[in-house]
């Protein structure tokens, strides 16, 4: 390789080594060829990377187009309810799925409707309270943990989410699974979007970007089944604009996760179970 100083001060055009020229400014024909080859390979690699990203994103887009709509997850009759048992028992809260609102209302003990759809691992006062508190930052936090997971893997994602968000362990697992699912099915789409489209923020906010759309269609079903609740299902409006009429739940009791009685009973219950 030519000395760096030669490239910097002399350029590599016509500075062939002569006895007159100090050696720091001199570049031999061989060195010049190497330098040229290095530049060419770098360019070639760059083009190949772009090509691979583009092909990957096209393939993922093809799979996304064939994916089923996730609307059915938001238009089920079932609701997840929190039953406050009147008897002072060891488990003051019972979290259970009801077939529909009528069934939940007819239950002999008071039921707080927590969210639309079946219950899951995040259907509790602690986790939904975090959903609400972090509704403007959770997406970015998850994205950051996702980037780390891309390099360091699952355990890093797990730790990153635990430290930066603080869900219960079972709920955290659903989120980590979701991150890994995105890495599996949406990675090219998201990198492509991140590289070439992120600056276009002035777009119509109602449409999801290709990256979040991929997450929704390819990894949403698995996530909702695991967690039970996402923000839309609890009626929380988040940092990602969604279809308000068809997807955001209107049956959930407003702000039930802020109810101090529910919070206390949840803490007491988990303390007793040694969690
Ligand atoms: C409370 O518990 C007692 C004994 O376990 C039971 O007999 C009673 O029916 C319970 N009351 C309610 C309202 O569930
Ligand atoms: C709710 O579920 C019950 C039990 O399956 C059913 O009899 C009832 O018709 C349902 N109500 C509505 C409004 O769907």
pTM score, whole prediction: 0.82
> What's the confidence (pLDDT) of residue 115?
95
20 burial (CB, 10 Å; 0-12 / 13-18 / 19+) is exposed
Ligand 2 centre distance from Cα of residue 87 (Å): 28
How do residues 33-90 score in pLDDT, each as one tens digit? 999 999 999 999 999 999 999 999 999 999 999 999 998 898 899 999 999 887 766 6
Ligand 1 centre distance from Cα of residue 21 (Å): 101
DSSP string, 143-163: HHHHHHHHHH-HHHHHHHHHH
> What's the confidence (pLDDT) of residue 19?
64
pLDDT at 248 over 90: no
> What's the confidence (pLDDT) of residue 126?
94
Residues in the ligand 2 pocket, defined by CB under 6 Å: 77, 99-100, 102-103
Ligand nearest to the CA of 86: 1
Examine the domain organization and report whether 247 and 194 are in the same domain.
yes
Examine the domain organization and report whether 50 and 84 are in the same domain.
no
Ligand 1 centre distance from Cα of residue 124 (Å): 24
Report CA 117 to chain centroid distance, whole Å: 21
Examine the domain organization and report whether 95 and 194 are in the same domain.
yes
Ligand nearest to the CA of 106: 2
Examine the domain organization and report whether 18 and 107 are in the same domain.
no
- State how many domains the chain has: 2
Examine the domain organization and report whether 226 and 203 are in the same domain.
yes
Examine the domain organization and report whether 78 and 172 are in the same domain.
yes
Last residue within a domain, chosen from 38, 66, 94: 66
> What's the confidence (pLDDT) of residue 150?
94
> What's the confidence (pLDDT) of residue 87?
72
Structural domain harbouring 97? 71-273
User: Which protein residue has the closest C-alpha to ligand 1 atom 7?
Assistant: 87
Question: Which atom from ligand 1 is nearest to the alpha carbon of 86?
Answer: 13
Last residue within a domain, chosen from 66, 89, 110: 66
pLDDT at 262 over 70: yes
Rg (CA), the chain: 27
Examine the domain organization and report whether 81 and 193 are in the same domain.
yes
164 burial (CB, 10 Å; 0-12 / 13-18 / 19+) is middle
Mean predicted lDDT score pLDDT of the chain: 86
Examine the domain organization and report whether 21 and 104 are in the same domain.
no
How do residues 143-158 score in pLDDT, each as one tens digit? 999 999 999 999 999 9
């Amino acid at each position: 390789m030519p000395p760096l100083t030669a490239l910097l001060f002399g350029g590599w055009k016509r500075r062939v080594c002569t006895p007159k020229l100090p050696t720091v400014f001199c570049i031999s024909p061989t060195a010049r060829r190497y330098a040229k080859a290095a530049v060419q390979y770098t360019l070639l690699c760059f083009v190949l990377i772009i090509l691979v990203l583009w092909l990957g994103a096209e393939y993922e887009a093809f799979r996304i187009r064939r994916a089923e709509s996730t609307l059915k997850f938001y238009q089920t009759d079932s609701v997840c309810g929190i039953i406050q048992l009147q008897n002072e028992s060891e488990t003051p809260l019972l979290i259970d799925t009801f077939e529909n609102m009528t069934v939940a209302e007819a239950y002999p003990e008071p039921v707080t409707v927590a969210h639309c759809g079946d219950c899951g691992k995040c259907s509790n006062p602690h986790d939904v309270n975090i959903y609400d508190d972090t509704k403007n930052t959770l997406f970015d936090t998850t994205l950051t943990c996702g980037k780390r997971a891309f390099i360091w893997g699952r355990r890093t994602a797990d730790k990153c989410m635990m430290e930066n968000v603080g869900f219960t362990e079972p709920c955290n697992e659903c989120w980590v699974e979701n991150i890994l699912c995105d890495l599996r099915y949406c990675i090219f789409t998201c990198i492509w979007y991140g590289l070439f489209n992120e600056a276009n923020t002035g777009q119509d906010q109602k449409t999801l970007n290709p990256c979040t759309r991929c997450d929704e269609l390819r990894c949403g079903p698995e996530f909702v089944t695991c967690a039970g609740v996402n923000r839309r299902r609890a009626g929380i409006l988040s940092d990602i604009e969604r279809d308000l009429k068809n997807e955001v739940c209107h049956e959930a009791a407003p702000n039930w996760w802020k109810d101090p009685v529910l919070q206390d009973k949840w803490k007491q219950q988990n303390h007793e179970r040694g969690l």
